[in-house]
A and B are shown apart, each in its own frame.
Chain A
Amino acid sequence: MSGASSVRLLSIPAAAADRLAAATLTDAVSYFNPDAVLLPGERNARGYAAVRTELDGVPAIHPQLGRNGERTSWYVPGEGGLRTADAGTAVETPALLAVQSGGVLADLRAGPELAAPDAGATYLFIPALSVAADRTSLSATLPFAVDVASIAASTDGPLAVLAGGQPAGYHHVWTLPVDTTPAGGRATPSETDSTLDSPTIDVPVVGLGATGEGGAAFVDVACGTDGAAAADAITADGFGLRALDGVGAATEERLADVGCRTRADVGDVAVAELSAIEGLGRRTAERLHAHAEVIETGEPLKLTNEQPVPTQSGRPPLCLDIETDGLSPTIIWQFGVYDPARDSYRAFVERTDPTDPAAVLGQFLEWLLGRHADRAILTWNGNGFDYPQIERFLRRHHPHYIEAWNDLRRYDLYTWAVRDGNALLPGRTNRLDDVADALGYEPRERGLSGAQTAAAYRRFMRRPDDLAAAPDWERHERYCRDDCEALWHVYEAIEAADRRDATDSGSGGASGRQSGLTDF
């Protein structure tokens, strides 16, 4: 639950809510603990009903149904979640305006329903709104832009749009002209065009994922008083029984057949009984069972005797994290290295010339090779990102270091644990921050995603001499340090974890919990 200064919304497409198991919805609601649940996409009464049964006092918002002829509704924070409000109520918190469809907005412009409850910020939920892109004319338009702009101009505080039909993870600030000229058409770089005569208004648009394609995802939207909506998506497979390693739709059904609907149920059942289920072998059943325990307790389990990092001199690995300006990097602008042996942290940051990736890379490598060539290096997904990126930049700028770089002992904890299946981790996703969080790690710095960090550096890149555009270097360094220390925290937790053999015979009655500890 949130305070007066922000509202927490959870979104799941209505069609998905209809399909997902009850346990999944229960799990997600209890995990996210939202002030309200939005159901974007096509109207689906069953999905709406399914979500309502999970909620206690917190509203499920599905305006597509048009209950009681309502086409628009206002919601403001109240005790235990959002509550409906009349137009004109004065609050200083964010408020949610839910409309049945974009077509309603035109009427809203003129009508009394627009009188916003004097809100801090307004969040406009349009259940099926999606951006119309036309590649043949290189244009992308926001439907109902005229109406949205007009409404945004007339509300007191800022306005942001929650677009049901945009993919989860979509976030773009649209600069919309206010007045009768239609927005869209051939795209012009209007954001930097200061010669525009007509007034414009900036409206952030956040996607809720009801696109009809791809797997369903829960989108967690934090709505602040500043009109900024931060959204985070976690696939439905991270909840309920599907959160268990190896459980898909078919297995979920078969588990339900034997009375297992929740992870707790799975934990209560003996492994032997699980492996008797069609399609589940001994190994898979063991894993499921173990994973249920892991998520429940928040304690990881190792499934092997192997070490993530073969120890040589008894010294722990250096924990490395890098920051770039995006996914096709033009620069690695920060290298952060945490040394658990001395609890010390060293950062290499490019703060002056973002067009020169060679300098900071060279400094990092010289330090690493000069002082720590004998240490092991650990990353999270280094194999997928950090190492290939470093190698690419070395090839381009310092090719003489390639051989020495390749001689270093480099490891990737994500590969070891998740891809190679050597451990079971708590956390609903495999992102480092989720895993570390589930293992009890408390970061120094909250509220900055990797994407935001990259965006902040890109702003700096556009105007490197403008002090006002300079990033908060200290903050970014703390963020990077957090990643490194989170990595260390996860590593330690795995090192200390109990070992559970995947083929442990173990016996337990139907009512007893299978502990799974072995004597090996």
Chain B
Amino acid sequence: MHDNDTRPTDGDRLLETFPRAGLGPDSASASVLTVPAREADTVPAGEVLDPILADRYPFELYSHQAAALRALGGNEHVCVSTSTASGKTHVYGLEIARRLFAAGVLAPDGTRAADRNERATALCLYPTKALTNDQRDALDSLYDDLGLDIRVRVYDGDTPTAERRSTREEADVILTNVQALNVYLEHHDRWSRFYSALELVAIDESHTYTGVQGMHAAWIIRRLERVLKYWGGDPTYALASATVGNPKAHSETLLGAPVTVVDDDGSPQGARDVVLWNPPPRDRSDGPAANDGMPTGDGLPTTDNGSSTNDGARADDDGVADRVPASVDAPKVFGHLTASDIETLLFCPSRKLTELSVERAKEHVRGGPRTYGERATTGIAPYHAGLGRRTRHARETEFQTDALRGLATTSALELGIDIGSLEATVLMGYPGQRQSFRQRIGRAGRGTDHSLAVLVADHRTLDQYVVSNPAYLLESDVEDAVVDISNDAVFASHLLCAADEIALGTDDLGSFADADRLRAGIEMWRRTGKLEGHPEAAVHYTGPPRPQTDVNVYGTDGDDYRLVLAESVDRDRWSLPEGLDLEPVDRNRAARDYHEGAVRLHGGQQFEVVSVEDSRPTPVIELAPVDVDYYTRTRTDVNVIEADSEESRTVNGFELHFGHGTVLVHHDAYDRVSVGNSETLEAGLPTGTEPIEMETQLCWIEVPKSIEQTLVETYRAYGVETGVAPDAADPPHLGYVAGLHAAEHATIQTAPLELRVDKGDLGGLATLVLDSHYAAEDTSGRDTDTTPEDGSPPESLRAAEHAVDARQRQLDGPPASGWFIYDGVEGGLGFARAIYESFEALAARARDQLRECGCGRPNGCPACTFDENCGNDNRPLLRASAVDVLDLLLGEASIESFDAYDPGREAGGETRRPALFYS
């Protein structure tokens, strides 16, 4: 099979040999990017480390390791932001050893000089328990190789009680996770030896601390600092991060202190071909035959022997509104590569798909005897957590020894586990972040070997953006990691914990938190009875014991829903592990993702929500494992009220705002979508959940009057093109507001291209009556309209709609129009803020995607304008109008160039406009 001229892992070779007509190096639906090899940039260890350590270390240091060690040696906090497998663990591993020598805990020969270490200890924090164990092994093995007697111990929920005390008293290095640390801070006096001697805190995978988790981590670190100060510890921090766009800002927010960034990667990397693969178009109206023999859940065979669906032959003017899903096409690529004896990993989003993919891959090979000959279709297998330890272990070994050629895996293999070398990776859909993308493709190719990565795109915005803009993947400017500590609800819960750990005092003003904020938080809790005292004396915690257990690092509210397995579930039958690690969820997420009937993936296994109990003191959601051929997608209806602008700036005449407000969300219906081919099986099923009122942070854009008038005129005639039914196609503003709606969708969908954000953390609302959503001027001194006297949320979003409509009457003139983007979590997460700061960049990406989408439809498609959670069923939408708005915002078009532009038109000719808004 191997051609002598080209390597098997060549991208071009794949395109040439794959049995699909029209596919080749010049095809429109696949492109090959070549990532050149990178040589190692090294420094002899002796230049950075003392001989006592350098002489023991068998390797040269990569340049970034050297830079980091130099900075740490100078007691600077450091963030090493380089690719995976670039030796970051050795950075802090060596620094720990260095300090132990310097403190005299280790004798020059590497044995212990002092049995009890009261001089130099180290704490290493990881986001998960699994990683903690892996890293303990890594450090143990490093110290073994160096011949150093350093005691490395894990201390977390799995540590037996009998060992805890000795670990606290004797360990040199303690490894744990952030959630556990939160709880251990309560009895910090038991850790006094360890804390008073603490010299180094290593935070691994620090880029994962964003969003909600990031907020909690930031506060837990600040509480740790208070405790350390009490006991006299003053460590240096070493952060190890994947590449992010803003390592300095992110690290400094996390730590609350200055950080030196080392991001010039000196580790070597083999050359790589990245193939961006767009599956062939599919037209639903043509029926199954033209749809490439679409398999259903029971695995009917598909063949791909040059049938009617040929790729690239369909001209762009036909427009591609839909494509074969990645779940169908990627296994074919996988099958092809493994049949060519190339060691390959296929990354799938769920366990079910790993199993299905192996079947499909085999079908593909069996169905192509001309291409593949009589190859056995053994040699590939699924890999996921549900297989049981023994089977997984066996497969890891078989893969290492070449008994298995390919593994279809869940994200379980994105990190850590050693499966030896492999030559190619295939990704079923874009994983949403470049960092994840790089981590996965980084599994292939060891050292300087050439490797292959194939990204099989799905027909949705991010994937399509990536295949249309190949340079994006290679841009060194990576997404920003956002962590924001301005959420006061989260601050309030950590404030109680801090007071419980050590009484609050004047030292904390300005150091634990800003003085005003601290005083406000203390006063609130004093009034509620949970704190007493004043900072000038001491503020003590007086609430129920152990407030630390109320902190859920995945949520923002005390009233989080617990996720539990329904009583009747047979764990063994479903191979569910004992500790089903389901973290509690906040009420907004509970309503959106865990309503009754929702089907969610966890650890690759499907679960259905069988009941939701919100009446108990601790609300509970019961799940049962299922094996169904669909997943569910929730539809969300949204309104914004009481928006209050705190900051604003002007961009080409548009007014951009950032502030706080109240968002009403109603996750009122859901659809069932086929796993196999993403068809909607059933739509609009009721969820039965109540609307939720959330106070959060928002960013919004106000369209200037002249532009609005021009665009309304330009698109006045558009009606059914926006996707609405003919009888709703009348309003003159429809075309324009459909454009706002599309722009809102697009800016949210493309946000992950700029920020490390999950689209699910954001929400939006496009509106014709922006001012009606603002907080009213408080003239009467009483709450107005929407909020009933006892403060409960409005009965329905309809009530809020009426209120917004009514608000218009109170305005002085016609309102402006525009759209909101908000953080979907109570109190905010910092994303709306980040979007406000980088709105232009976001708008550019959104505009590109809208303009260049090949769907050819006026109202767009899932790759450009559609949002799967749209509460208005993705209508009305209008691409062209959205592109115009964004072009004008970016200053790349001018209003004068529009035919409908009329500077003489009277402003405010209308007395009232329909209160149209769409989420």
Contacts and interface: CB of A to CB of B under 8 A. Distances in A.
Question: Does chain A bind chain B?
Answer: yes
Interface of A: 131-133, 135-140, 142, 166-167, 169-172, 174, 180, 182, 186-189, 192, 207, 213, 325-330, 354, 388, 391-392, 395-396, 454-455, 458-459, 461-462
A187 B517 CA distance: 10
Contacts of B596: none
B488 A137 contact: yes
Given A172-B527, A180-B781, A187 B540 contact: no
A388 B188 CA distance: 12
Nearest to A207: B529
Interface in B459-495: 487-489, 491-493
A180 B476 CA distance: 59
Contacts of A182: 781
A354 B501 CA distance: 20
B500 A328 contact: yes
B617 interface: yes
A187 B527 contact: yes
Interface string B193-208: 0000000000000000
A172 B524 contact: no
A475 B393 CA distance: 72
B536 A462 contact: yes
Given A136-B826, A138-B520, A327-B542, A461 B527 contact: no
A187 B532 contact: no
B492 A138 contact: yes
A133 B527 contact: yes
A462 B506 CA distance: 11
A189 B532 contact: no
B229 to A, nearest CB: 12
A184 B188 CA distance: 36
Interface in B518-534: 519-521, 523-529, 532-534
Given A135-B493, A139-B524, A189-B519, 15 more contacts: A135-B558, A136-B488, A137-B488, A140-B523, A171-B529, A172-B526, A172-B527, A325-B533, A326-B542, A328-B538, A330-B502, A391-B189, A396-B230, A396-B231, A458-B537
Interface string B742-780: 000000000000000000000000000000000000000
B532 A455 contact: yes
A326 B528 contact: no
Contacts of A354: 537
A417 to B, nearest CB: 22
Contact of A131 (B487, B527, B533, B826): B527
Nearest to B617: A213
A135 B827 CA distance: 9
A458 B533 contact: yes
A325 B533 CA distance: 9
A135 B505 contact: no
B192 interface: yes
A459 B533 CA distance: 9
Nearest to B502: A328
B489 A135 contact: yes
Contacts of A180: 781
24 contacts: A131-B527, A133-B527, A135-B524, A136-B488, A136-B826, A137-B695, A138-B492, A138-B524, A139-B524, A140-B523, A186-B520, A187-B519, A187-B523, A325-B533, A325-B538, A325-B540, A326-B538, A326-B542, A330-B503, A388-B189, A392-B189, A392-B192, A462-B534, A462-B537
Contacts of A137: 488, 695
Nearest to B545: A327
Contacts of B726: none
B541 interface: yes
B489 to A, nearest CB: 4
A458 B488 CA distance: 27
A329 B505 CA distance: 11
- 9 A-B pairs closest in CB distance: A326-B540, A187-B523, A461-B537, A140-B527, A135-B489, A135-B492, A458-B537, A170-B529, A328-B503
B427 to A, nearest CB: 39
A461 B504 CA distance: 13
B532 A326 contact: yes
B499 interface: yes
A41 B521 CA distance: 28
B58 interface: no
Contacts of B529: 131, 166-167, 169-172, 207
B791 A132 contact: yes
A325 B489 CA distance: 28
Contacts of B520: 138-139, 186-188
Contacts of A392: 189, 192
Nearest to A142: B527
Contacts of B526: 172
Given A328-B499, A328-B540, A458-B538, A138 B695 contact: no
A109 B778 CA distance: 24
Contacts of A169: 529
A136 B189 contact: no
A395 B695 contact: no
Interface string B544-562: 0000000000000010000
Contacts of A133: 524, 527-528
A136 B521 contact: no
Contacts of B791: 132
A458 B537 CA distance: 6
Nearest to B790: A143
B505 A330 contact: yes
Contact of B488 (A132, A135, A167, A462): A135
Interface string B165-193: 00000000000000000000000010010
Contacts of A396: 192, 230-231
Contacts of B537: 325, 354, 458-459, 461-462
Interface in B695-735: 695
B525 to A, nearest CB: 8
Contacts of A142: 527
**Which of B230, B489, B493, B517: most chain A Cβ within 10 A?**
B489
**Which of A166, A187, A207: most chain B Cβ within 10 A?**
A187
B521 A138 contact: yes
A320 B827 CA distance: 48
B546 to A, nearest CB: 12
A136 B827 contact: yes
B731 to A, nearest CB: 37
A207 B528 CA distance: 11
**Which of B492, B528, B534, B827: most chain A Cβ within 10 A?**
B528
Nearest to A454: B540
Contact of A327 (B493, B528, B540, B826): B540
A166 B530 CA distance: 12
A288 to B, nearest CB: 29
Contacts of A139: 520, 524
A325 to B, nearest CB: 6
A231 to B, nearest CB: 12
Contact of B533 (A172, A188, A326): A326
A189 B523 contact: yes
A290 to B, nearest CB: 31
Contacts of B541: 327-328
A207 B543 CA distance: 14
A486 B677 CA distance: 78
**Which of A142, A189, A454: most chain B Cβ within 10 A?**
A189
Contacts of A459: 537
A138 B527 contact: no
Contacts of A174: 527
Contacts of A138: 488, 491-492, 517, 520-521, 524
**Which of B499, B527, B695, B826: most chain A Cβ within 10 A?**
B527
A371 B172 CA distance: 39
A186 B231 CA distance: 34
B826 A326 contact: no
A166 B529 CA distance: 9
A461 B538 contact: yes
Given A135-B493, A328-B540, A458 B527 contact: no
A328 B491 CA distance: 20
